[in-house]
């Protein structure tokens, strides 16, 4: 039904917004603190790509009347705070470990959302196709 689909979309949007904001925050930290140049560049890419994705998400949420979080979740904020106290090789390693974990979680959320959307939408599309087929037959 439409309500649960909208609810799922809202839940997903909030999760995606949280993930995106966390990655921007981690990316900014990497730009500032990483000792490894490649990690600095990776951080820059995170800030650019996730700021872009977050803006698209905000537009979509505004259209659908979904309110998104404006600050990091407690858990993400704690990760950022802990990480900002680190430096050198420890920082580089933990930053990348967190990026790995975050992106794996995000990919799972996105895949689940796509699966759920497909699972609820596909039967409707098949029903429409069947109805169109029947109309085509009766019309010819």
According to the model, what pLDDT value does residue 4 have? 63
In contact, 83 and 98? CB cutoff 8 Å: yes
Mean pLDDT, residues 118-140: 92
According to the model, what pLDDT value does residue 9 have? 84
CA distance from start to end of the chain = 34
Mean pLDDT, residues 74-94: 96
User: 7: pLDDT confidence band, cut at 50, 70 and 90?
Assistant: confident
Tokens linked to 29: 């930290």
Higher pLDDT, 39 or 3: 39
Q: How far is CA 29 from CA 20, 46, 49, 75, 78, in A?
A: 14, 11, 15, 16, 13
Mind listing the pLDDT tens digit for each residue in 60-83?
999 889 999 999 999 999 999 999
Mean pLDDT, residues 109-130: 92
């Amino acid at each position: 039904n439409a309500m649960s689909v909208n609810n799922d979309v809202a839940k997903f949007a909030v999760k995606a917004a949280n993930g995106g904001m966390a990655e921007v925050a981690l990316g900014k930290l990497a730009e500032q603190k990483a000792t490894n140049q490649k990690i600095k560049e990776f951080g820059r890419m995170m800030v650019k790509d996730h700021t872009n994705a977050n803006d698209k998400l905000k537009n979509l949420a505004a259209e659908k009347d979904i309110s998104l979080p404006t600050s990091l979740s407690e858990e993400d904020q704690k990760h950022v705070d802990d990480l900002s106290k680190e430096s050198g090789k420890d920082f580089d390693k933990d930053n990348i470990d967190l990026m790995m974990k975050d992106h794996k979680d995000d990919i799972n959320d996105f895949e689940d959302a796509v699966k759920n959307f497909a699972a609820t939408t596909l039967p409707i599309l098949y029903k429409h196709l069947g109805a169109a087929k029947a109309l085509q037959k009766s019309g010819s």
